[in-house]
Structure 1
Amino acid sequence: MTTTTPCSATDLFTHVLRHGNRADPYPYFAQMRQQPVARMDDGTWLVSGYHEIAQLLHDPRISADRLNPQDAARPAARSLLVQDPPNHDQLRRLVTQEFIPRIMGMRDHIHAVVTQLLDAHTTPQPGQLDVVAELAYPLPVTVICELLGVPREDEPVFGSLARRLTRGLDPVDTQTDEEIHELQQARTELVQYLEVLIQQRHTAPGDDLLSGLMFSQDPSGGMGPVDLRVTLGLLLIAGHETTVNLIANGTLALLRNPEVLARLRNDPALATPLVEEVLRYDPPVQMSGRSTLADIDIAGTTIPKGARVRLVLAAGSRDAKRFPDPDRFVPDRPDNAHLGFGGGLHYCIGATLARAEAQIALTALARRLDSPRLVADPPPYRENTILRGPEHLMVSFDRLTPDVQAN
């Protein structure tokens, strides 16, 4: 009889980082959960259990600021994603009071954008559609450009920047020297691009989100120029990158579960719980980083003060201690309090918009594609580990029908 030695936390994380495992990291996440809080060889702590992640997301002794204050490479300007109270709270309030009112009532417009994108490929003949390039990407880009007041024709500019900047979210030891150089260059280019936009609004304000942030009537006086630039960059890039993966991952789940696709085609109300299940089952953001402000006792161990912590959200959302039959896609799963949008103080500001875009896009695909099937399964995946999703998602169909029903 032979026995196998369990992989260490370091080995498991190394497997997850390998691009060859990008299509299905979940077996490694399952092994991680056998020790839901584990220390890696470099001193970073991996947290993979649902209850442990949820506890830390709401613990005031854990910080979103993952950089050492003495680090010479620490950027002077940082987004609210990596700031703690009180700075985080003030910035989040300013963004929320300008962002949320603008996205309410947008469902009809989102549906119109989805219809326009699919209409470009309407055909009574068999064909193919790259769901990423022709729907999942242009939809959120169009919407966030309109919200911010960014010229739609500038999309190729910040689209290239987004691809380089999001790669920088992954551990630095997974990046090539060329990618690190491109990241630094992209940061410089983004600053230059945003400064031009901001100057344009100083001269000619509009009713867009950028103008709202610049001329906020908040008693605090609004954002300073550095915070404004960083926040605009965050909204511009995060406002579409994660939604691309959400729509693509949702399409994959539907095509791999044809009985669910048929249910959605006949019952569009299913889209609401279905998107929540996509966020649990195959989330666009796989993990998030934190650091500890004090010793924290959790799961029978102590994470020391000053430690770096990696919260493996995708692993936690498939924890059998929280979700029955977690590796099965259940579109109307009850009590689905997933970790797809994080939690606590840093719960995703754009969650409402991302949900609406995914619900409408997936419903449209289910209704309008006759006999859709994957050209390649698994599809090719992006290099990114943290923002995980297909690079392309080619779907064959017998016919792409006109939009004859309102969403």
Structure 2
Amino acid sequence: MTPGTLSARILDPANRADPYPLYAELRRTPVLREDDGTYLVSTYHEARSLANDPRLSQDLRHRPPGSDRPARPEEETGLPPSFIFTDPPEHDRLRAAVNRPFGPPHSPGFIDSLRGELAAVVRGLLDDFEGKDRIDIVEDFAYPLPVTAICRVLGVPREDEPRFHGWADAVASHIDPAQAGIGQEEILSARRELSSYLAELIETRRRHPGPGLLSALAPRTEPGGGLTPGDLVATAVLLLVAGHETTVNLITNTTLTLLRHPDVLERFRTRPALTVPLVEEMLRYEPPVQFVPFNVALADIELAGTTIPEGSLVWIMVAAANRDPRRFADPDRFDPDRADNEHLGFYTGVHYCFGAPLARVEAQLALPELFRRVQGLRLLEDPPPYRANAVLRGPRHLPVSATGLTA
């Protein structure tokens, strides 16, 4: 990106703690063409319309030569793309096959069946706060819960987390335009290592089935099963990485926001029924995925008086659209009582977040218990240090002090 452009400023780590003034500036031009020919779509109705337009592709194989990020999966590992990087009908085939053991209509009770186990994980993490007067919400709470959850969902051994942690971080950076050209060999190596690890685990689960999606899906990679072995490995990489990265941000950003809004926090502590609308408002106010930068126009698209030419790269600016004053009254105010909160925090259309039901359950279980049990929570650093990733935006650490722990 050309230095000084809005996209370059959004990607600049110096603006990571508060990109929202830049998003407000961006909304003045709903469909903005940058110097390199990339289009940024930032207003709510335009972003929603385009994200649902079949002329916009997320298939990386349509990206023009020379595009930095993300690279085409087959160029990196020899694997086919995961369903997030495909279009219908291929996308529909892959997603439907993976969804069979995960949710409705074939497995309608799967997510609910995890509630008891996840609630026990939350209790255990909070029990470990006993005697501590300083806590890192990320390392001690927001990270271990979703990692444990996605390991349980997939059937990945939780004790392997130290092995795949670094690989997952590197793979997550692969979607971030801010890191284009940085550490390409390390990212490529991490993706290969993670793919190899999961391929071996899938083969083990094929021979010795256990709980989790990998065991459920491994037999379906046989002829006629809907997935090839490569499809399953690529999907496992996607779910392992995305299945915890975004939820870490959701829990951490909510904790930070509540500590900045003591009036809302006091209501939250005394009104458990506020949990669901509070999480939904958080998904609008501080979405874990700030924008979706890997779209390509398959044809000329007219939008808000601008023509996006065929072959153009397009960023859908989710966080900017979620604060569009034409759609949300007083959009910069954090308001769990907000009515008609049809946010784009989990995106929209065929690429609506696959893991949204699981992320919601994790946040709804974790946040009330955190603020019920931990007494005297106070921010020690505001703003906290943020991760480099501009797309998956969230604090790298969130240090807080506490005065005690209740049962």
Report the TM-score range of the alignment, normalised by the length of the smaller protein. over 0.9
Please give the alpha-carbon distance, in whole angstroms, between the structure 2 residues aligned to 1:95 and 1:14: 36
Q: Displacement of 1:10 after TM fit?
A: 6.5
Against the structure 1 CA distance between its residues 10 and 88, is the aligned structure 2 distance closer, same or farther, given a 3 Å change threshold? Answer: farther
Q: Displacement of 1:175 after TM fit?
A: 4.3
Against the structure 1 CA distance between its residues 210 and 375, is the aligned structure 2 distance closer, same or farther, given a 3 Å change threshold? Answer: same
Identity over aligned pairs, percent: 52
Against the structure 1 CA distance between its residues 82 and 309, is the aligned structure 2 distance closer, same or farther, given a 3 Å change threshold? Answer: same
Q: Displacement of 1:215 after TM fit?
A: 2.0
Secondary structure of the structure 2 residue equivalent to 1:339:
coil
Aligned AA for 2:329? Answer: P
Please give the alpha-carbon distance, in whole angstroms, between the structure 2 residues aligned to 1:175 and 1:386: 12
Secondary structure of the structure 2 residue equivalent to 1:327:
coil
**Partner of residue 144 from structure 1, selected from 126, 147, 150:** 150
RMSD: 1.9
Q: Which moved more, 1:225-234 or 1:196-205?
A: 196-205
**Partner of residue 366 from structure 2, selected from 350, 361, 367:** 361
- The TM-score normalised by the length of structure 2 is 0.92
Contact 1:158 1:190 in 2 (8 A): yes
Match for residue 116 of structure 1? 124
Match for residue 26 of structure 1? 20
Against the structure 1 CA distance between its residues 67 and 24, is the aligned structure 2 distance closer, same or farther, given a 3 Å change threshold? Answer: farther
Unaligned runs of 5+ in 1: 1-7, 403-407
Secondary structure of the structure 2 residue equivalent to 1:129:
strand
Please give the alpha-carbon distance, in whole angstroms, between the structure 2 residues aligned to 1:373 and 1:396: 5
Matches within 5 A, 1:230-245: 230-245=234-249
Match for residue 314 of structure 2? 309
Match for residue 77 of structure 2? none
Secondary structure of the structure 2 residue equivalent to 1:392:
coil
Against the structure 1 CA distance between its residues 75 and 97, is the aligned structure 2 distance closer, same or farther, given a 3 Å change threshold? Answer: same
Secondary structure of the structure 1 residue equivalent to 2:35:
coil
Contact 2:57 2:297 in 1 (8 A): yes
Q: Displacement of 1:396 after TM fit?
A: 0.8
Against the structure 1 CA distance between its residues 13 and 71, is the aligned structure 2 distance closer, same or farther, given a 3 Å change threshold? Answer: closer
**Partner of residue 320 from structure 1, selected from 315, 322, 325:** 325
Q: Displacement of 1:161 after TM fit?
A: 0.8
Please give the alpha-carbon distance, in whole angstroms, between the structure 2 residues aligned to 1:332 and 1:272: 10
Aligned AA for 2:219? Answer: F
Match for residue 90 of structure 2? 87
Aligned AA for 1:45? Answer: Y
Matches within 5 A, 1:112-261: 112-123=120-131, 127-171=133-177, 174-175=179-180, 177=182, 179-216=183-220, 220-261=224-265
Runs of 4+ aligned residues of structure 1 deviating over 6 Å after TM superposition are: none
Match for residue 73 of structure 2? 75
Contact 1:26 1:315 in 2 (8 A): yes
Please give the alpha-carbon distance, in whole angstroms, between the structure 2 residues aligned to 1:279 and 1:75: 29
Contact 2:318 2:347 in 1 (8 A): yes
Q: Displacement of 1:218 after TM fit?
A: 11
- The TM-score normalised by the length of structure 1 is 0.92
Deviations 1:273-311 (A, max 9, x none): 001111100111000031111111111111111111000
Question: Is residue 286 of structure 2 the alignment partner of residue 282 of structure 1?
Answer: yes
Q: Displacement of 1:202 after TM fit?
A: 2.2
Q: Which moved more, 1:79-88 or 1:365-374?
A: 365-374
Contact 1:214 1:222 in 2 (8 A): no
Against the structure 1 CA distance between its residues 205 and 71, is the aligned structure 2 distance closer, same or farther, given a 3 Å change threshold? Answer: farther
**Partner of residue 388 from structure 1, selected from 393, 396, 406:** 393
Matches within 5 A, 1:286-305: 286-288=290-292, 289-305=294-310
Match for residue 41 of structure 1? 35
Please give the alpha-carbon distance, in whole angstroms, between the structure 1 residues aligned to 2:41 and 2:128: 45
Against the structure 1 CA distance between its residues 103 and 153, is the aligned structure 2 distance closer, same or farther, given a 3 Å change threshold? Answer: same
Matches within 5 A, 1:371-382: 371-382=376-387
Aligned length, in residue pairs: 391
Aligned AA for 2:196? Answer: Q
Unaligned runs of 5+ in 2: 75-79
Q: Displacement of 1:180 after TM fit?
A: 1.6
Q: Displacement of 1:263 after TM fit?
A: 0.9
Aligned AA for 2:364? Answer: Q
Q: Displacement of 1:264 after TM fit?
A: 1.1
